[in-house]
A = this chain, B = another copy of it.
């Protein structure tokens, strides 16, 4: 029942905050056991950023992601570095603003940063757009839980922007079709905004 997620990208893309929000949504609001980990150190000097969320219906013995059920890559470098940790049936979601070389044939490619910049006027909200899309594409977290966690974790005054960002992500993901579960992976690329 264990499900291992890795969120990855460049420093400054809000990867760690994404991890915190996703873990809080699944753990506090959806009521599962969740462990959330991030690592720092000499290996991160290249400006890479990585956060992991592991959840389960049972207590989690090992909190770090092992083989990935889901990998989000917000940069080409992180995509190239981590795709080999995906399970054969794992899901890859990329920010196609920056990831243009796909290492596997099956990938959800959505331009999160372009959407944040051009639809919301705030490139910094790309991580929240991505969270919305992840929820829609995978069903790992309920929309209500995600929204509660986003609102509780981000600064007061940014509620409207962040709700819009979640919605923009959900809507971009919906253009793939409704309620795609992890078991229905398809090759999909959306360059429309």
Chain A residues with a Cβ under 8 A of chain B: 16, 20, 23-24, 26-28, 31-44, 59-60, 63-64, 155
Interface centre among A28, A38, A64 (most CB of B within 10 A): A38
Asked if residues A28 and B44 are in contact (CB atoms below 8 Å), the reply is yes
- Cβ contacts under 8 Å, A155 to chain B: 155
Also in contact, A36 and B33, with CB within 8 A (given A20-B16, A155-B155) = no
CB distance A41 to B27 under 8 Å?
yes
Q: Which of chain B's residues have a CB closer than 8 A to the CB of A43?
A: 33, 59
In the complex, the count of this chain's copies comes to 2
Q: For residue A60, which residues in chain B have a CB less than 8 angstroms away from its CB?
A: 39
Smallest CB–CB gap between A42 and chain B, Å?
6
Partner of A63, one of B20, B24, B59, B64: B64
A-B contact pairs, 6 of them (CB 8 A): A27-B41, A33-B40, A33-B43, A34-B40, A37-B63, A63-B64
Residues A36 and B34 in contact, CB atoms below 8 Å apart: no
The CA-CA distance from A24 to B24 in the complex, in Å, is 20
Q: Which residues of B contact A23 (CB under 8 A)?
A: 38, 40
Known: A20-B16, A20-B20, A155-B155. A63 touches B39 (CB 8 A): yes
Q: Which one of B36, B41, B59 lies within 8 Å of A37 (CB-CB)?
A: B36
